A and B are shown apart, each in its own frame.
Chain A
Amino acid sequence: MGLSDSIKQRLRRWTLSMTGDDLDERLKGHRSQNEYGVDPFGFSLDYALSAVGPLVWLYQHYFRCQTFGIEHVPAGRVLLVSNHGGQLPFDGMMIGVALLTEGKPPRAIRSMVEKWVGSLPFVSTFFSRVGQIVGTPENCRRLLHNDEAILVFPEGIKGISKLYAQRYQLQEFGLGFMRLALETKTPIVPVAVVGSEEQAPAIVNLETVGKLLGMPALPLTPYGVPFPLPTKYRIYFGEPLTFAGRPDDDDAELEKKVKVVKASIQSMLEKGLAERTGIFS
């Protein structure tokens, strides 16, 4: 539904022309698919390869993404924990494209989306077909048991709706991801995205108005809408961190562990900011 077949085929060819023809072959068997071409969560490789075309183009030509340390992402279950910013989740999409096109081997990652996404027409269907699911602890647990790679933004809404003045200052991290990592013995790969937090410089956050519209936040840029500017993206993958401990420990204990992850992301961010010559180059 939605995309007609010929457009779908054309998009798919476009994707493969940018990523190399063998991408679909290399991804086959990556997830179980039934006779209708979907996995139990609704992911469809066919649909994803068509849908991801514009994102691959953004990755290569618009944000001109550069990745560092992608070989640190281990095979099997892993939690990718990243900073979050830029009003629209292009950071998540670019991390996804990075692992899809440059991962060794390529893998389609999952990310946990806000619960309200499930009530949005088109968006909910699109997310489901490309493998993104509503972020409940049960969903996350189940996917980790299936040895998936999951991207989480522990800053959540507070992160993505940061104002320009707060760029690259990590907001408070939720503890949920650490509980799940301990429970499922999952390594954590810290990820730092440099570039995303300047793409849509927000000057005010009209939270109250946003709430009225059913949105969790409503940040405004000088030009109103959060249209992303072509900032240069640098994506850093840190070495995997493994933690031991009880998942039902006191928050204080978990916070200590979360701080280690946060510090690792912060230092990669600082390194990335120091290394670059400009926001757009």
Chain B
Amino acid sequence: MSAEGAVVVTGISGNLGRVVAKLLHRTERVVGLDRRPFPGKPKDVEHFQIDLRKKKTEEVFRRLPVKAIVHMGIMHDPRMSAEDHHSFNVLGTTRVLECAAKYGVKKLIVLSSANVYGPSPENSNFLSEEAPLMAASRFPSVRDLIEVDMLAHGFFWRQPSVETVVLRPVHIVGPTIKNAPSNYLRLKRPMRLLGFDPMVQLIHMNDVGEALVAALTPGLKGVYNVVGPGEVPLSACFSELGAAPVPIPHPLARSLLGRLFKFRLASYPPEELDHIQFLCMVDGARWRSESGWRPRLSMRETIRGVLSDLA
């Protein structure tokens, strides 16, 4: 991208935000928006510590010419109150979309997730971008993530003047990532479900960062699944990481985890078990062929990347 204007990165203080800032700041004017501080930020990155829902967000757009937005200011923390969660994600995204339309931003990239399809025993092995977003049918608290995806998708059709890209990457892992799959794979003695060993897809945060940068390419727009180096049985991740999983029959695991979660002894609710029981894999062929992006890391490096920094 060479045209004049800044690239606004929401959620820049998160893991992925920092990866994207590092990849972009030498060639672009990067402006970060996050309610968290950004320690260790590169000198040439401007950071505004504001809540996306607030009026101040618009002020940034009013003051600066913005050519592109990378919207990652979306959170998924099952401990947060549903109301707060929903308001932050949905209202924050709405505000970003409004600004994109109002201030003539050329490019909008929204980071969604392949989890929006939801794991199910009836899923096809590889879901395409047209598959219905069913995740909330079994796990209502991901409703707002689906809503964010659909807001962006709707914006894609409503605002043809903005090149909108919605990326739905598979499970993102990385040494500092705190999402459910990374936390789970870091356990030494994780619970696994007796008799289930679904195929899973993982992608390293650095590869996602490069995909987000690739999405800035002028002309590229649409909704894309982003698949990392491939598919492995969940058990292969455990052996690669030297973990010794404890098999538990699934009905028991559900009630057990339900109780542990309620008493704050587990960091994820029982609905997350669907991911280690059923398939939720996607087909990333469209993204690869239209963007030319390829993951840099092999499957082995990606799995190991859960634990240690690859540098």
Contacts and interface: CB of A to CB of B under 8 A. Distances in A.
Contact of B128 (A120, A128, A133, A138): A138
Contacts of B193: 121
B194 A118 contact: no
Given A34-B232, A34-B299, A38-B231, A136 B121 contact: no
B300 interface: yes
A134 B124 contact: yes
Interface residues of B, number: 29
A136 B124 contact: yes
Q: What is the interface of chain B mostly: helix, strand, loop, or mixed?
A: loop
B284 to A, nearest CB: 11
B196 A116 contact: no
B48 to A, nearest CB: 43
Query: Interface size bucket, A side?
Result: 20 to 34
A118 B278 contact: yes
B279 interface: yes
A38 B232 contact: yes
A1 B230 CA distance: 20
A124 interface: yes
A139 interface: yes
Given A34-B232, A38-B231, A40-B231, A122 B125 contact: no
B126 interface: yes
Interface in A25-44: 34-36, 38, 40-42
B250 interface: yes
Interface string A93-123: 0000000000000000000000111111111
B125 A125 contact: no
A122 B197 CA distance: 8
B236 A36 contact: yes
A107 B116 CA distance: 36
B249 A128 contact: no
Nearest to B127: A138
Interface string A187-202: 0000000000000000
A193 to B, nearest CB: 27
Interface of B: 120-128, 193-199, 230-233, 235-236, 249-250, 278-279, 298-300
5 contacts: A35-B298, A38-B199, A38-B233, A134-B124, A142-B125
Given A40-B231, A118-B279, A124-B196, 4 more contacts: A35-B299, A36-B232, A118-B122, A138-B127
Interface of A: 1-2, 34-36, 38, 40-42, 115-125, 128-129, 133-134, 136, 138-139, 142
